[in-house]
Structure 1
Amino acid sequence: MGSFQQQLLERVTPPILNVLGGASHGKLINSINNTMMIFNRELIHIESGLVRRLEGLEAESIASAAKFLIPESIEEQSVLLLLPPSEFIASVHSFPDTLKENLISALYLQTESILPSYEKPLSLAIDAKSSDGNSESVALWLPQKKLENMFVAFSEQDLFLTAIKPRILSSDYQSGAMGLLDNDETDLTFVVLEDGLLRAWQQVNKLDFEQKDFVAQWESSLKSNGTFQIKELNNIRDYLPSINNKINIEYNFFPGGALDELKKVARGRKVLAGLAALAFLMIISSIPFILQSIEFQDVAKTLESSRLMSADARQDQQIVVDFENEWGPINDFPQQSIRGAMFTLQNVLSPERLSSLEISQGLIKIQGTSSDPQAILQRLEQDSLFTEVIFSRATSNTRYYIDLRLSPVNFEAYMVRYFPDN
């Protein structure tokens, strides 16, 4: 981009470029709950009709007076400020059938020729619908510094300045063509509206009327605009019944701070939407766990019910267990069946005789003489009543020492069960 175009674009700040680019600010307009209008150094609160004399026309004085007039409320005070038409600069252009974006770009490129003596940043407002090829379009300009100073001053009073607008463009009018004449103590401003579109803007300082020729030119100019009805707005009473914030919204000037708040709200809504989506996904993903938890609770309740119902049976079972613990060592003491063991030994060893026999805890120790001790050992091993049959000591040709256990007797298991510490 050339330096010439760059200089032109620098004269209009980015927030205002967004407004002029066609961004919708209906939500900002709908949030307005206080309308303030300046007329002849007085500030009027349109909703209540209260009036306060301004000490000066500086942003701080206006904001302080607005704070005084607005009733206390817990709601955020969103303000539309209607300024005298003399605060704005008007320019007339002809761009037939031009889109709003292209129309704005064209105005930027012609800024130096439109306002050659004004080098400070400007805010621009124009209704692109007025560029229909049959009539000229009226653009309004407002110093950007004034716009931002007003926003800061109102913010310091805990007021949110939503927009600034020429007061003459907030006066309601009939359909068709109509003229509005704003007459205050310093200036006269005449505008022509056709079907809601601004077609003409003429303004003069009353000091110029000291020249008679200029008066004649002004009257001639008014007559040249047509024979339609002209509504005169000479004082506050003329304005109050006809204020309408919803008309000519294309000529609202939005401070950068107000636009930033709009962006924050939009970002906040996106974050909330994202969090809501995340919460929804978490709920969906947690449904199986919730169902499982419900099933677990049902099972736990069933288990608790069964436990209560089986309390008596478990109590009886505990009695049995206690009885077994007390009488088990006696009832379960291993029966060695000594008589049966003696008869079995007699049958196995016959006709041999024993010289010694000991029985203790299922272990039998025998001594005797035989011409074939090995045969005796084998016969004992083959009998199912005995197990672990071994020669316990060295055996001579005729004398033997044999240890064996009664297979039905298990003293080790008995001791482990009832006397584990021994």
Structure 2
Amino acid sequence: MKNLFLIKLDLPFYLRLPSSGFFTWDPKFKHACIVPGQFVGEESFSRICNEIAETTKSLKTNEPNKLLDSPGEGKQGAPYKYPVTSVIDNSDEYITQVINTSNDGGFVQLKPFTEIKIFLISDGNTLTEEIKERAFDILNHFLDIYRIITQDPSIHRIDRKLNLYLVDCLVGQKDAKKNFDEENVLDILKNIEKYNFSDSIGEKRLTEQRIGLLDDIFPGETLEGEHLNNLIKLTAQEYQIPLHYDLILNAQTQLKKHNYHVAIIEAETAFEVYVENTLIKIAVELKRKEETVKELEYPGSYDQPGKRLKGLDEFISSYRTNNKLKELDNFVGSDQYKEWDIKLYKVRNDVVHGGLRKITFEKTRDAIHSVKIAISKIEQSIAGLADHVQICADVNHLNNTAGKIEFN
């Protein structure tokens, strides 16, 4: 038996669309309907706990709230509070933000958002996980088309585990004498205003709060020991982060945001950038002709038998011989090479050339790990030319939550 379902949520950005119904694609029933509503609300930040008071006790032990133990106390000069204004249409001026710099201050500012209503058809009258997942497939298809049309950089796909604070799911109610099976999908969606939806939380209405909230509050323990000492030592020196490190760190950020295909591409790009730069660095040290390096830079492929990677092994061998260093096994054919080839390079090719999008958090994390250990192996073989800051190859601190970073 067909039924009409409504999924309501607030998007953290503004869609420049009329508040009308838009027929859109549904992977199961071909048609769904999205109704956007544009609003301007407020978002705020407070330097103290207001709604969650500092006197909050544990609900079980009545002990003070451990979450409010701060590692440091902020002190400042004379506080001040002032409004920030914006000029609209080169004429009218309005207050759009209020800033308070006192110890109990913060800010309040206008925040545009879009209320989205997703109407979709499904079998039965129970709000299942399949219905929720399909609703977000419908929404992200709609947003993808909107992004292509507007090229608005503030718009992104929505992950219900990361981007939302509340999702309201409702089951449609129709005249008891009739049922949805008597109408086709388009006719139902054309007349959504005729149907009622449950007001009370229960079997016909469920809410889904944002998960992983506790992990979002604190990203991890305060740095100490070796990690803190390394920070103190390195921040005192001049240093420019290499592009390949920058790309790896960005890949890890994309991993946490669940943009897995982007993380894969950035991780592989990091490796290719590193190999190119290392080839040039060793060639300069060996006083090789510019043409020798250029032969390896562009026409070669990274896969087996990769011209550039084999060339890199030859350069490293010559470098170690010139510096009277012990001969090492080649990178090509090593365990690190095989792991990079299987877990990153082939997956990247599936993403870029095969259109792969369904990738798991764990598979993406393994791919990032493979590029880190590959670079680490090569760096160890060129000790005199290696970057003096070596990124940790471990990825166990990356957890599948919105926040929470752990250092063991």
Q: Same fold (TM over 0.5)?
A: no
Q: Report 1 or 2 for greater relative contact order, CA contacts < 8 Å, sequence distance ≥ 6.
A: 2
Rg (Cα) greater in structure: 1
| TM-score (structure 1 length as normaliser) | 0.21
| TM-score (structure 2 length as normaliser) | 0.21
Q: Counting helix residues as a fraction of each chain, which structure ranks higher?
A: 1
